[in-house]
Homo-oligomer: A and B are copies of this chain.
Amino acid sequence: MMYESFKLFAGVLSNRTRFDIVMLLMKKEMSVLELCSESAYEQSRVSHNLKCLLNCGFVDVEQHGRRHVYSLNHEMKDLISEIENHIQLYEARLRKCDILREET
């Protein structure tokens, strides 16, 4: 079981589009179009990936008129910011292994 949930978690976030969306939603809740303009990804792309995030419990939606406002699930928010810390550690370790290129 452990693995299924890890795979789900990792799979969701190891995609640039979804990762970016999640990071945007870390700041504030947004509608689909707002996410589009902030991310510069096209609408259907954002929608498809929001659906995925919704299915996996990463985000919640609330509908106001014709805007669907997406927010990061507040429990996920905590979890993700903790993961962020770990990743920074991991980054440092990867650099030691010369896996990651230095930024230009």
Spell out A's residues near B (CB within 8 Å): 1-11, 13-16, 19-20, 55-57, 73, 75-76, 79, 82-84, 86-91, 93-94, 96-97, 99-100, 103
Contacts and interface: CB of A to CB of B under 8 A. Distances in A.
Contacts of A96: 57
A86 B82 contact: yes
A31 to B, nearest CB: 22
B56 A87 contact: no
A19 B5 CA distance: 12
A96 B15 CA distance: 24
Given A10-B11, A56-B94, A94-B8, A16 B1 contact: no
How many chain copies does the complex carry? 2
A2 B56 CA distance: 22
Given A9-B90, A11-B14, 19 more contacts: A1-B91, A1-B100, A2-B84, A3-B16, A3-B19, A5-B100, A6-B14, A7-B15, A7-B16, A8-B94, A8-B99, A9-B87, A55-B99, A57-B97, A76-B93, A79-B90, A79-B93, A83-B86, A86-B86
